[in-house]
Structure 1
Protein backbone atom coordinates (compact mmCIF):
# COMPACT_ATOMS: atom_id res chain seq x y z
CA UNK A 1 0.00 0.00 0.00
CA UNK A 2 1.22 3.52 -0.73
CA UNK A 3 0.54 7.13 0.08
CA UNK A 4 0.24 10.16 -2.18
CA UNK A 5 -0.57 13.82 -1.70
CA UNK A 6 -4.29 13.00 -1.71
CA UNK A 7 -3.99 10.41 1.07
CA UNK A 8 -5.69 11.44 4.30
CA UNK A 9 -5.54 8.25 6.36
CA UNK A 10 -2.94 5.55 5.79
CA UNK A 11 -3.23 2.48 8.02
CA UNK A 12 -0.84 -0.40 7.47
CA UNK A 13 -0.55 -3.84 9.06
CA UNK A 14 -2.94 -3.37 11.98
CA UNK A 15 -3.38 -6.33 14.29
CA UNK A 16 -5.25 -6.70 17.57
CA UNK A 17 -5.68 -9.76 19.74
CA UNK A 18 -7.94 -10.28 22.75
CA UNK A 19 -6.61 -13.35 24.53
CA UNK A 20 -7.12 -16.22 22.13
CA UNK A 21 -9.16 -14.16 19.66
CA UNK A 22 -7.36 -12.52 16.74
CA UNK A 23 -9.81 -9.64 16.17
CA UNK A 24 -7.70 -7.91 13.50
CA UNK A 25 -4.99 -9.56 11.43
CA UNK A 26 -2.70 -7.38 9.31
CA UNK A 27 -5.44 -4.98 8.15
CA UNK A 28 -4.44 -2.09 5.87
CA UNK A 29 -6.34 0.62 4.05
CA UNK A 30 -5.82 4.00 2.44
CA UNK A 31 -8.48 6.73 2.48
CA UNK A 32 -8.11 9.69 0.16
CA UNK A 33 -9.23 13.20 1.04
CA UNK A 34 -12.88 13.88 0.26
CA UNK A 35 -13.95 10.25 0.04
CA UNK A 36 -16.86 8.57 1.74
CA UNK A 37 -15.18 5.28 2.55
CA UNK A 38 -17.16 2.23 3.63
CA UNK A 39 -16.10 -0.57 5.96
CA UNK A 40 -18.40 -3.59 5.87
CA UNK A 41 -18.42 -7.26 6.80
CA UNK A 42 -20.50 -9.90 8.57
CA UNK A 43 -21.07 -9.77 12.32
CA UNK A 44 -17.81 -10.35 14.16
CA UNK A 45 -15.67 -9.35 11.19
CA UNK A 46 -13.67 -6.81 13.22
CA UNK A 47 -15.19 -3.57 11.95
CA UNK A 48 -15.82 -1.93 15.31
CA UNK A 49 -12.50 -3.20 16.66
CA UNK A 50 -10.82 -1.42 13.75
CA UNK A 51 -12.72 1.77 14.57
CA UNK A 52 -11.76 1.49 18.22
CA UNK A 53 -8.10 1.03 17.30
CA UNK A 54 -7.78 4.00 14.93
CA UNK A 55 -9.66 6.28 17.36
CA UNK A 56 -7.63 5.39 20.45
CA UNK A 57 -10.08 3.26 22.41
CA UNK A 58 -8.00 0.12 21.88
CA UNK A 59 -4.21 -0.06 21.71
CA UNK A 60 -3.12 -2.05 18.66
CA UNK A 61 -0.60 -4.87 18.87
CA UNK A 62 0.99 -3.63 15.67
CA UNK A 63 0.40 -1.20 12.86
CA UNK A 64 1.39 2.05 11.19
CA UNK A 65 -0.94 5.05 11.38
CA UNK A 66 -0.56 8.25 9.33
CA UNK A 67 -3.13 11.07 9.20
CA UNK A 68 -2.63 13.92 6.76
CA UNK A 69 1.01 12.94 6.26
CA UNK A 70 1.77 12.91 9.99
CA UNK A 71 2.32 9.69 11.95
CA UNK A 72 0.21 9.29 15.06
CA UNK A 73 -0.11 6.71 17.82
CA UNK A 74 -3.72 5.77 18.61
CA UNK A 75 -3.15 5.37 22.34
CA UNK A 76 -5.43 8.08 23.75
CA UNK A 77 -8.84 9.26 22.54
CA UNK A 78 -8.19 12.96 23.16
CA UNK A 79 -4.87 12.85 21.28
CA UNK A 80 -6.53 11.19 18.29
CA UNK A 81 -9.30 13.82 18.36
CA UNK A 82 -6.72 16.61 18.41
CA UNK A 83 -4.95 14.94 15.49
CA UNK A 84 -8.17 15.25 13.50
CA UNK A 85 -10.31 12.11 13.83
CA UNK A 86 -13.78 12.35 15.35
CA UNK A 87 -16.22 9.48 15.75
CA UNK A 88 -19.73 8.50 16.69
CA UNK A 89 -20.74 5.24 18.36
CA UNK A 90 -22.98 2.34 17.45
CA UNK A 91 -24.72 2.84 20.80
CA UNK A 92 -25.45 6.55 21.14
CA UNK A 93 -23.29 8.22 23.79
CA UNK A 94 -24.65 11.62 24.69
CA UNK A 95 -24.83 13.55 27.94
CA UNK A 96 -28.52 12.83 28.38
CA UNK A 97 -29.26 15.53 30.98
CA UNK A 98 -27.42 18.25 29.10
CA UNK A 99 -29.03 20.27 26.35
CA UNK A 100 -28.31 19.64 22.70
CA UNK A 101 -26.33 22.89 22.59
CA UNK A 102 -24.26 21.90 25.62
CA UNK A 103 -23.49 18.50 24.11
CA UNK A 104 -22.04 20.12 21.00
CA UNK A 105 -20.13 22.66 23.09
CA UNK A 106 -18.42 19.78 24.89
CA UNK A 107 -17.05 18.59 21.56
CA UNK A 108 -15.90 22.09 20.66
CA UNK A 109 -13.90 22.54 23.87
CA UNK A 110 -11.13 20.31 22.54
CA UNK A 111 -10.16 23.29 20.36
CA UNK A 112 -10.40 25.87 23.16
CA UNK A 113 -7.41 27.92 24.31
CA UNK A 114 -8.41 29.43 27.66
CA UNK A 115 -7.45 26.45 29.77
CA UNK A 116 -8.43 25.50 33.29
CA UNK A 117 -7.22 28.71 34.93
CA UNK A 118 -9.22 30.89 32.57
CA UNK A 119 -12.32 28.80 33.28
CA UNK A 120 -11.86 29.11 37.04
CA UNK A 121 -11.24 32.87 36.94
CA UNK A 122 -13.93 33.48 34.30
CA UNK A 123 -11.50 35.76 32.49
CA UNK A 124 -12.65 38.03 29.70
CA UNK A 125 -10.86 35.84 27.20
CA UNK A 126 -12.63 32.76 28.55
CA UNK A 127 -16.05 34.42 28.35
CA UNK A 128 -15.42 35.55 24.79
CA UNK A 129 -14.31 32.08 23.79
CA UNK A 130 -17.35 30.48 25.46
CA UNK A 131 -19.62 32.80 23.50
CA UNK A 132 -17.84 31.84 20.28
CA UNK A 133 -18.13 28.13 21.15
CA UNK A 134 -21.86 28.49 21.83
CA UNK A 135 -22.32 30.31 18.52
CA UNK A 136 -20.49 27.61 16.61
CA UNK A 137 -22.43 24.88 18.41
CA UNK A 138 -25.71 26.48 17.33
CA UNK A 139 -24.44 26.69 13.75
CA UNK A 140 -23.66 22.97 13.80
CA UNK A 141 -27.08 22.10 15.20
CA UNK A 142 -28.60 24.10 12.37
CA UNK A 143 -26.29 22.32 9.92
CA UNK A 144 -27.48 18.84 10.90
CA UNK A 145 -31.10 19.97 10.98
CA UNK A 146 -31.94 20.15 14.70
CA UNK A 147 -31.19 23.78 15.50
CA UNK A 148 -34.69 24.26 16.88
CA UNK A 149 -33.90 21.76 19.65
CA UNK A 150 -30.84 23.58 21.01
CA UNK A 151 -32.35 24.00 24.49
CA UNK A 152 -33.88 20.52 24.71
CA UNK A 153 -32.31 17.88 26.94
CA UNK A 154 -30.59 15.28 24.77
CA UNK A 155 -32.68 12.47 26.25
CA UNK A 156 -35.90 14.13 25.06
CA UNK A 157 -34.89 14.08 21.39
CA UNK A 158 -36.10 11.40 19.00
CA UNK A 159 -33.74 8.57 18.15
CA UNK A 160 -32.93 9.99 14.73
CA UNK A 161 -32.29 13.45 16.16
CA UNK A 162 -29.99 11.99 18.80
CA UNK A 163 -27.98 10.47 15.96
CA UNK A 164 -27.80 13.89 14.33
CA UNK A 165 -26.75 15.45 17.62
CA UNK A 166 -23.90 12.99 17.97
CA UNK A 167 -22.72 13.87 14.47
CA UNK A 168 -22.89 17.59 15.29
CA UNK A 169 -20.80 17.03 18.43
CA UNK A 170 -18.21 15.12 16.39
CA UNK A 171 -18.09 17.89 13.79
CA UNK A 172 -17.47 20.40 16.57
CA UNK A 173 -13.94 19.02 16.96
CA UNK A 174 -13.14 20.21 13.42
CA UNK A 175 -12.19 16.74 12.19
CA UNK A 176 -10.26 15.88 9.08
CA UNK A 177 -11.87 12.44 9.21
CA UNK A 178 -15.36 11.73 10.55
CA UNK A 179 -15.76 8.08 11.54
CA UNK A 180 -19.39 6.98 11.78
CA UNK A 181 -20.13 3.68 13.51
CA UNK A 182 -23.44 2.35 12.17
CA UNK A 183 -25.22 5.72 12.07
CA UNK A 184 -28.30 4.24 10.36
CA UNK A 185 -28.85 1.57 13.02
CA UNK A 186 -32.44 1.76 14.29
CA UNK A 187 -33.49 4.37 11.73
CA UNK A 188 -36.61 4.10 9.61
CA UNK A 189 -36.55 4.52 5.84
CA UNK A 190 -37.20 8.27 5.92
CA UNK A 191 -34.48 8.87 8.50
CA UNK A 192 -32.02 6.88 6.39
CA UNK A 193 -32.71 9.05 3.36
CA UNK A 194 -32.11 12.16 5.48
CA UNK A 195 -28.93 10.64 6.92
CA UNK A 196 -27.58 9.90 3.46
CA UNK A 197 -28.21 13.51 2.42
CA UNK A 198 -26.40 14.75 5.54
CA UNK A 199 -23.36 12.54 4.96
CA UNK A 200 -23.20 13.64 1.33
CA UNK A 201 -23.32 17.26 2.47
CA UNK A 202 -20.57 16.73 5.04
CA UNK A 203 -18.37 15.16 2.37
CA UNK A 204 -19.03 17.93 -0.14
CA UNK A 205 -18.12 20.48 2.55
CA UNK A 206 -14.65 19.02 2.88
CA UNK A 207 -14.77 16.41 5.64
CA UNK A 208 -13.68 12.91 4.70
CA UNK A 209 -15.99 10.19 6.04
CA UNK A 210 -15.28 6.61 7.16
CA UNK A 211 -18.49 4.64 7.50
CA UNK A 212 -19.26 1.33 9.21
CA UNK A 213 -22.77 0.27 8.33
CA UNK A 214 -24.80 -2.96 8.22
CA UNK A 215 -27.16 -1.41 5.68
CA UNK A 216 -25.05 -2.46 2.70
CA UNK A 217 -27.47 -0.87 0.24
CA UNK A 218 -26.78 2.49 1.90
CA UNK A 219 -23.04 1.89 1.77
CA UNK A 220 -23.06 0.88 -1.90
CA UNK A 221 -25.07 3.93 -2.86
CA UNK A 222 -23.05 6.38 -0.82
CA UNK A 223 -19.39 5.34 -0.70
CA UNK A 224 -16.60 5.95 -3.21
CA UNK A 225 -14.62 2.93 -2.05
CA UNK A 226 -15.31 0.00 0.26
CA UNK A 227 -13.20 -2.40 2.30
CA UNK A 228 -14.66 -5.73 3.40
CA UNK A 229 -13.46 -7.52 6.55
CA UNK A 230 -14.10 -11.12 7.50
CA UNK A 231 -12.72 -12.79 10.65
CA UNK A 232 -10.39 -9.84 11.20
CA UNK A 233 -8.85 -9.92 7.72
CA UNK A 234 -9.37 -7.69 4.72
CA UNK A 235 -10.84 -9.86 1.97
CA UNK A 236 -11.74 -7.18 -0.59
CA UNK A 237 -11.27 -3.50 -1.39
CA UNK A 238 -12.45 -1.40 -4.30
CA UNK A 239 -15.35 0.53 -5.72
CA UNK A 240 -18.85 -0.58 -4.69
CA UNK A 241 -19.31 -2.28 -8.08
CA UNK A 242 -16.02 -4.16 -7.74
CA UNK A 243 -16.83 -5.30 -4.22
CA UNK A 244 -20.27 -6.53 -5.23
CA UNK A 245 -18.69 -8.75 -7.90
CA UNK A 246 -16.07 -10.19 -5.55
CA UNK A 247 -16.56 -13.91 -4.90
CA UNK A 248 -14.92 -13.71 -1.47
CA UNK A 249 -17.47 -11.10 -0.44
CA UNK A 250 -20.35 -13.24 -1.67
CA UNK A 251 -19.00 -16.22 0.25
CA UNK A 252 -18.45 -14.21 3.43
CA UNK A 253 -22.05 -13.00 3.46
CA UNK A 254 -23.86 -16.09 2.24
CA UNK A 255 -21.45 -19.02 2.42
CA UNK A 256 -20.48 -21.51 -0.27
CA UNK A 257 -22.97 -21.83 -3.12
CA UNK A 258 -25.01 -18.89 -1.84
CA UNK A 259 -26.05 -15.98 -3.97
CA UNK A 260 -26.68 -15.99 -7.67
CA UNK A 261 -25.53 -12.38 -7.91
CA UNK A 262 -23.09 -10.27 -5.92
CA UNK A 263 -25.74 -7.62 -5.45
CA UNK A 264 -27.86 -10.18 -3.60
CA UNK A 265 -24.88 -11.09 -1.43
CA UNK A 266 -24.01 -7.59 -0.31
CA UNK A 267 -27.66 -6.74 0.24
CA UNK A 268 -28.16 -9.75 2.47
Structure 2
Protein backbone atom coordinates (compact mmCIF):
# COMPACT_ATOMS: atom_id res chain seq x y z
CA UNK A 1 0.00 0.00 0.00
CA UNK A 2 1.38 3.37 -1.01
CA UNK A 3 2.15 5.98 1.65
CA UNK A 4 0.55 8.67 -0.53
CA UNK A 5 -3.23 8.71 -0.12
CA UNK A 6 -4.15 11.64 -2.36
CA UNK A 7 -2.20 13.41 -5.07
CA UNK A 8 -3.86 16.04 -7.24
CA UNK A 9 -2.10 18.37 -9.64
CA UNK A 10 -2.91 21.18 -12.04
CA UNK A 11 -6.49 21.65 -10.82
CA UNK A 12 -8.22 24.59 -12.50
CA UNK A 13 -11.87 25.62 -12.45
CA UNK A 14 -13.67 28.57 -13.99
CA UNK A 15 -17.22 29.78 -13.39
CA UNK A 16 -18.08 32.08 -16.28
CA UNK A 17 -15.67 35.00 -15.99
CA UNK A 18 -14.37 33.93 -12.57
CA UNK A 19 -11.20 31.85 -12.39
CA UNK A 20 -11.95 30.06 -9.11
CA UNK A 21 -8.88 27.78 -9.18
CA UNK A 22 -5.61 28.11 -11.08
CA UNK A 23 -3.19 25.16 -11.24
CA UNK A 24 -3.66 23.97 -7.64
CA UNK A 25 -2.12 20.73 -6.38
CA UNK A 26 -1.58 18.92 -3.09
CA UNK A 27 -0.10 15.62 -1.90
CA UNK A 28 -1.40 14.03 1.30
CA UNK A 29 0.48 11.19 2.97
CA UNK A 30 -1.17 8.40 4.94
CA UNK A 31 -1.88 9.31 8.56
CA UNK A 32 -1.62 13.07 8.01
CA UNK A 33 -4.03 15.80 8.94
CA UNK A 34 -3.70 18.19 5.99
CA UNK A 35 -5.11 21.70 6.31
CA UNK A 36 -6.51 23.93 3.59
CA UNK A 37 -6.92 27.59 4.57
CA UNK A 38 -7.34 31.01 3.02
CA UNK A 39 -9.54 34.10 3.19
CA UNK A 40 -13.16 34.04 2.05
CA UNK A 41 -13.31 33.69 -1.72
CA UNK A 42 -9.90 32.01 -1.90
CA UNK A 43 -11.23 28.88 -3.63
CA UNK A 44 -11.12 26.43 -0.71
CA UNK A 45 -14.68 25.21 -1.08
CA UNK A 46 -14.37 24.99 -4.86
CA UNK A 47 -11.22 22.88 -4.49
CA UNK A 48 -12.93 20.69 -1.92
CA UNK A 49 -15.95 20.23 -4.18
CA UNK A 50 -13.77 19.32 -7.15
CA UNK A 51 -11.93 16.65 -5.17
CA UNK A 52 -15.17 15.15 -3.87
CA UNK A 53 -17.08 15.11 -7.15
CA UNK A 54 -19.52 18.01 -6.72
CA UNK A 55 -17.77 20.09 -9.40
CA UNK A 56 -16.06 18.94 -12.57
CA UNK A 57 -12.63 20.57 -13.00
CA UNK A 58 -11.54 22.19 -16.26
CA UNK A 59 -8.15 20.50 -15.93
CA UNK A 60 -6.10 18.44 -13.52
CA UNK A 61 -5.03 14.92 -12.56
CA UNK A 62 -6.11 12.83 -9.58
CA UNK A 63 -4.58 9.82 -7.82
CA UNK A 64 -6.04 8.02 -4.83
CA UNK A 65 -3.74 5.51 -3.11
CA UNK A 66 -1.53 5.44 -6.19
CA UNK A 67 -4.33 4.81 -8.68
CA UNK A 68 -5.92 7.33 -11.05
CA UNK A 69 -9.49 8.28 -10.24
CA UNK A 70 -11.98 10.69 -11.76
CA UNK A 71 -14.21 12.58 -9.30
CA UNK A 72 -17.35 12.54 -11.44
CA UNK A 73 -20.00 12.15 -8.71
CA UNK A 74 -20.12 12.19 -4.90
CA UNK A 75 -21.27 8.58 -4.55
CA UNK A 76 -18.57 7.35 -6.93
CA UNK A 77 -15.93 9.28 -5.01
CA UNK A 78 -17.21 7.72 -1.77
CA UNK A 79 -16.92 4.26 -3.29
CA UNK A 80 -13.38 5.10 -4.42
CA UNK A 81 -12.47 5.94 -0.83
CA UNK A 82 -13.09 9.63 -0.06
CA UNK A 83 -15.79 10.48 2.50
CA UNK A 84 -16.74 14.07 3.27
CA UNK A 85 -18.74 16.19 5.66
CA UNK A 86 -20.28 19.54 4.80
CA UNK A 87 -20.04 23.05 6.26
CA UNK A 88 -23.82 22.99 6.63
CA UNK A 89 -24.70 19.76 8.43
CA UNK A 90 -26.44 17.25 6.15
CA UNK A 91 -27.95 14.52 8.29
CA UNK A 92 -31.21 12.63 7.89
CA UNK A 93 -32.97 14.62 10.58
CA UNK A 94 -35.84 12.20 11.20
CA UNK A 95 -33.62 9.12 11.30
CA UNK A 96 -31.89 8.01 14.47
CA UNK A 97 -28.19 8.52 14.97
CA UNK A 98 -27.69 4.79 14.45
CA UNK A 99 -29.67 4.80 11.21
CA UNK A 100 -27.63 7.72 9.89
CA UNK A 101 -24.39 5.81 10.39
CA UNK A 102 -25.90 2.64 8.90
CA UNK A 103 -26.76 4.62 5.75
CA UNK A 104 -23.08 5.44 5.38
CA UNK A 105 -22.09 1.84 5.97
CA UNK A 106 -24.38 0.53 3.23
CA UNK A 107 -21.96 1.77 0.58
CA UNK A 108 -19.75 -1.21 1.48
CA UNK A 109 -22.53 -3.84 1.37
CA UNK A 110 -23.11 -6.48 -1.27
CA UNK A 111 -26.53 -8.09 -0.79
CA UNK A 112 -28.23 -5.89 -3.35
CA UNK A 113 -31.86 -5.08 -4.01
CA UNK A 114 -33.13 -8.67 -4.28
CA UNK A 115 -31.60 -9.57 -0.94
CA UNK A 116 -33.31 -6.61 0.67
CA UNK A 117 -36.69 -7.44 -0.92
CA UNK A 118 -36.67 -11.13 0.00
CA UNK A 119 -34.83 -10.72 3.32
CA UNK A 120 -32.38 -13.48 2.49
CA UNK A 121 -30.15 -14.95 5.22
CA UNK A 122 -27.19 -13.20 3.63
CA UNK A 123 -28.99 -9.87 3.79
CA UNK A 124 -29.96 -10.37 7.45
CA UNK A 125 -26.40 -11.29 8.41
CA UNK A 126 -25.07 -8.27 6.57
CA UNK A 127 -27.57 -5.95 8.27
CA UNK A 128 -26.55 -7.30 11.68
CA UNK A 129 -22.91 -6.66 10.81
CA UNK A 130 -23.72 -3.12 9.63
CA UNK A 131 -25.58 -2.34 12.85
CA UNK A 132 -22.74 -3.71 14.98
CA UNK A 133 -20.13 -1.64 13.17
CA UNK A 134 -22.32 1.47 13.28
CA UNK A 135 -22.74 1.17 17.05
CA UNK A 136 -18.97 0.81 17.39
CA UNK A 137 -18.48 4.03 15.44
CA UNK A 138 -20.99 5.91 17.58
CA UNK A 139 -18.97 4.75 20.59
CA UNK A 140 -15.76 5.84 18.86
CA UNK A 141 -16.96 9.42 18.35
CA UNK A 142 -18.45 9.57 21.85
CA UNK A 143 -22.20 9.61 21.22
CA UNK A 144 -23.25 5.96 21.60
CA UNK A 145 -25.80 6.88 24.27
CA UNK A 146 -27.73 8.78 21.60
CA UNK A 147 -27.91 5.86 19.16
CA UNK A 148 -31.72 5.75 19.24
CA UNK A 149 -32.26 9.52 19.28
CA UNK A 150 -33.40 11.27 16.13
CA UNK A 151 -30.53 13.22 14.59
CA UNK A 152 -32.40 16.53 14.87
CA UNK A 153 -32.56 16.21 18.67
CA UNK A 154 -28.79 16.04 19.11
CA UNK A 155 -26.78 19.09 20.09
CA UNK A 156 -24.88 20.92 17.37
CA UNK A 157 -21.54 19.47 18.45
CA UNK A 158 -22.95 15.94 18.61
CA UNK A 159 -24.44 16.33 15.13
CA UNK A 160 -20.96 17.17 13.88
CA UNK A 161 -19.66 14.01 15.57
CA UNK A 162 -22.46 12.01 13.97
CA UNK A 163 -21.44 13.29 10.53
CA UNK A 164 -17.89 12.13 11.18
CA UNK A 165 -19.12 8.71 12.34
CA UNK A 166 -21.16 8.38 9.14
CA UNK A 167 -18.09 9.32 7.07
CA UNK A 168 -15.98 6.75 8.92
CA UNK A 169 -18.63 4.12 8.22
CA UNK A 170 -17.66 4.11 4.54
CA UNK A 171 -14.14 2.87 5.43
CA UNK A 172 -12.56 5.82 3.61
CA UNK A 173 -8.95 6.20 2.59
CA UNK A 174 -9.41 9.95 3.11
CA UNK A 175 -11.86 11.84 5.31
CA UNK A 176 -12.56 15.35 4.01
CA UNK A 177 -13.93 17.66 6.72
CA UNK A 178 -15.50 20.93 5.56
CA UNK A 179 -15.49 23.51 8.38
CA UNK A 180 -16.15 20.97 11.17
CA UNK A 181 -15.60 23.58 13.92
CA UNK A 182 -17.95 26.16 12.39
CA UNK A 183 -20.52 27.26 14.98
CA UNK A 184 -18.93 25.32 17.82
CA UNK A 185 -18.27 26.78 21.25
CA UNK A 186 -14.86 26.52 22.91
CA UNK A 187 -15.62 23.26 24.71
CA UNK A 188 -16.96 21.61 21.57
CA UNK A 189 -13.83 22.66 19.67
CA UNK A 190 -11.59 21.02 22.27
CA UNK A 191 -13.57 17.78 21.95
CA UNK A 192 -13.43 18.00 18.15
CA UNK A 193 -9.68 18.46 18.20
CA UNK A 194 -9.32 15.41 20.45
CA UNK A 195 -11.46 13.34 18.08
CA UNK A 196 -9.51 14.39 14.97
CA UNK A 197 -6.26 13.69 16.78
CA UNK A 198 -7.53 10.22 17.71
CA UNK A 199 -8.53 9.53 14.11
CA UNK A 200 -5.01 10.48 13.03
CA UNK A 201 -3.45 8.24 15.71
CA UNK A 202 -5.47 5.37 14.27
CA UNK A 203 -3.58 5.93 10.99
CA UNK A 204 -6.46 7.52 9.13
CA UNK A 205 -5.94 10.47 6.82
CA UNK A 206 -7.81 13.77 6.98
CA UNK A 207 -8.16 16.79 4.69
CA UNK A 208 -9.42 19.73 6.74
CA UNK A 209 -10.90 23.04 5.58
CA UNK A 210 -11.22 25.33 8.56
CA UNK A 211 -11.44 29.06 9.27
CA UNK A 212 -10.14 28.64 12.83
CA UNK A 213 -6.45 29.21 12.11
CA UNK A 214 -5.41 28.35 15.66
CA UNK A 215 -7.08 24.95 15.35
CA UNK A 216 -5.44 24.29 11.98
CA UNK A 217 -1.96 25.33 13.06
CA UNK A 218 -2.17 23.27 16.24
CA UNK A 219 -3.52 20.14 14.58
CA UNK A 220 -2.31 19.81 10.99
CA UNK A 221 0.91 18.21 9.78
CA UNK A 222 0.97 20.27 6.58
CA UNK A 223 -1.02 23.22 5.32
CA UNK A 224 -1.82 24.71 1.92
CA UNK A 225 -2.94 28.34 1.66
CA UNK A 226 -5.09 29.58 -1.20
CA UNK A 227 -5.74 33.18 -2.21
CA UNK A 228 -7.87 34.18 -5.20
CA UNK A 229 -7.78 30.59 -6.43
CA UNK A 230 -3.98 30.36 -6.41
CA UNK A 231 -1.74 28.35 -4.12
CA UNK A 232 0.43 30.89 -2.32
CA UNK A 233 2.06 28.60 0.27
CA UNK A 234 2.46 24.96 1.27
CA UNK A 235 4.40 23.44 4.14
CA UNK A 236 4.42 22.80 7.85
CA UNK A 237 2.32 25.09 10.05
CA UNK A 238 5.50 26.75 11.34
CA UNK A 239 6.70 27.49 7.82
CA UNK A 240 3.32 28.76 6.65
CA UNK A 241 2.96 31.13 9.61
CA UNK A 242 6.25 32.80 8.65
CA UNK A 243 5.40 33.13 4.95
CA UNK A 244 5.10 36.80 4.03
CA UNK A 245 2.47 36.17 1.37
CA UNK A 246 0.31 34.32 3.87
CA UNK A 247 0.71 37.01 6.50
CA UNK A 248 -0.30 39.67 4.01
CA UNK A 249 -3.23 37.76 2.50
CA UNK A 250 -4.69 36.03 5.52
CA UNK A 251 -3.07 36.11 8.92
CA UNK A 252 -2.84 39.91 9.08
CA UNK A 253 -0.07 42.45 9.13
CA UNK A 254 0.18 42.31 12.94
CA UNK A 255 0.73 38.57 12.99
CA UNK A 256 4.04 37.45 14.49
CA UNK A 257 5.85 34.26 13.54
CA UNK A 258 5.96 33.26 17.19
CA UNK A 259 2.66 31.45 16.81
CA UNK A 260 0.31 34.32 17.61
CA UNK A 261 -2.34 33.08 15.20
CA UNK A 262 -5.65 34.76 14.68
CA UNK A 263 -9.03 33.18 14.13
CA UNK A 264 -10.55 34.15 10.81
CA UNK A 265 -14.24 34.73 10.45
CA UNK A 266 -16.40 32.10 8.85
CA UNK A 267 -18.50 32.61 5.76
CA UNK A 268 -19.60 31.22 2.45
CA UNK A 269 -17.13 31.30 -0.41
CA UNK A 270 -16.55 29.99 -3.87
Give me the TM-score of the superposition, normalised by structure 1. 0.95
The question of 1:39 aligning with 2:30 is answered no
Q: How does 1:95-114 map to 2 (within 5 A)?
A: 95-114=92-111
Give the deviation of 1:266 after TM superposition. Answer: 5.1
* 1:80 pairs with 2:77: yes
1:249–1:266 CA contact under 8 A, matched in 2: no
CA distance in 2, matches of 1:222, 1:207: 14
Q: Deviation at 1:259?
A: 2.0
Q: How many residues align?
A: 263
Deviation for aligned residue 1:122: 1.0
Aligned residue among 256, 259, 262 for 1:261: 256
Partner of 1:209: 206
Structure 1 stretches of 4+ with a deviation exceeding 6 A read: none
> Following TM superposition, by how much is the alpha carbon of 1:254 offset from its aligned partner in structure 2, in angstroms?
5.6
**Deviation of the 1:49 alpha carbon:** 0.8
Query: 2:152 and 2:255 mapped to 1: Cα distance?
Result: 45
Residue by residue over 1:70-111, the C-alpha shift from the partner in whole angstroms, topping out at 9 and shown as x without a partner, is 100000111111111000000000000000000000000000
Taking structure 1 as reference, are residues 117 and 214 closer, same or farther at Cα in structure 2, changes over 3 Å only?
A: same
Matched, 1:119 2:136: no
CA deviation after TM superposition for structure 1 residue 265, in Å: 6.0
Alignment CA distance shift 1:23-1:223 (3 Å)? same
**C-alpha contact 1:11 1:65 (8 A) present in aligned 2:** yes
Q: In structure 2, what is the equivalent of residue 49 of structure 1?
A: 46
Contact 2:85 2:178 in 1 (8 A): yes
CA distance in 1, matches of 2:172, 2:234: 24
**RMSD between aligned residues:** 1.3
Looking at structure 2, the residues matched to 239 and 223 of structure 1 have their Cα atoms a distance apart, in angstroms, of 8
Contact 2:213 2:261 in 1 (8 A): no
Give the conservation status (yes or no) of the 8 Å contact 1:259–1:265: no
What is the match of residue 154 of structure 1?
A: 151
Q: 2:137, 2:168 within 8 Å by CA — same for their partners in 1?
A: yes
> What's the offset of the Cα at 1:114?
0.2
